[in-house]
Amino acid sequence: MADPNSRSGVRYADGAILRYADELHAPHDEALAAAAEAPERQGLPAIQVGPSEGRFLQLLLRLAGARRVVEVGTLAGYSAIWMARALPTGGVLYSIEVDPRHAEVARENLTRADLAARTEVRVGDAAEILPELAAEGPFDAVFLDADKARYPVYGAWAAENLRAGGLLIGDNVYLFGRLREDSDEARAMRRFHEQAAEAFDTACVPTPDGLLVGVRRTS
């Protein structure tokens, strides 16, 4: 497999460069550090976004003037902290987490970050919770970082519940390098890509595992 940090065989970034960039552009304070370390400390999966991806999410929400945001896949609340900090007074981030223990850890981290008032962690199956959340919309952004096989379900909901100009953001859209495989999960992810391209103006940012960003069309 080609080196993800290279173009035409030329290597642009190694680990030291990436660490330098993270530390300069996406530094951790105490709350972010605690959330970043929570998976290892609490025995949760180490599958959250990296510092630069978190900072990128925050900047995207600021650029969009986001006030009402939905996240599918909370884990320890690391990405939720980055995004909730982008919201103005009165803004709210609804984050959905299927695992009650993960949700408990996330709430602790969000409280430590003084973000409890602008975040709401809902526990359960996102496919069931999202229709309930529709009444709180329309939304300014939807961030997907959960079970990859159901991205088409979540993306279709986003297309219906985002305002014109709202953002759809999906992480791991290269499916850990398996996007072109002949499997149910890969076909589902390709369907998500295709559905997003139909309803949104899209780009796929070549982060380590791909970050799809789409802007909801006005018509």
Domains and CATH numbers, the chain: 12-216 (3.40.50.150)
- Reported as a single tens digit per residue, the pLDDT across 9-25 is 555 678 899 999 999 99
Q: Quick check: pTM over 0.85?
A: yes
Long-range residue pairs from 157-164, CB within 8 A, at least 24 positions apart, any chain:
157/130, 157/131, 158/70, 159/195, 159/196, 159/199, 159/200, 159/216, 160/134, 161/70, 161/130, 161/133, 161/134, 161/137, 162/137, 162/138, 162/216, 163/137, 163/138, 163/139, 163/216, 164/216, 164/217, 164/218
Q: Which 3 state secondary structure label does DSSP give 219?
A: coil
CB-count burial class (<10 Å; 0-12, 13-18, 19+) for 175: buried
- Reported as a single tens digit per residue, the pLDDT across 37-67 is 999 999 999 899 999 999 999 999 999 999 9
The confidence band for 113, taking pLDDT boundaries of 50, 70 and 90, is very high
Q: Which residue has the tokens 């896949």?
A: 73
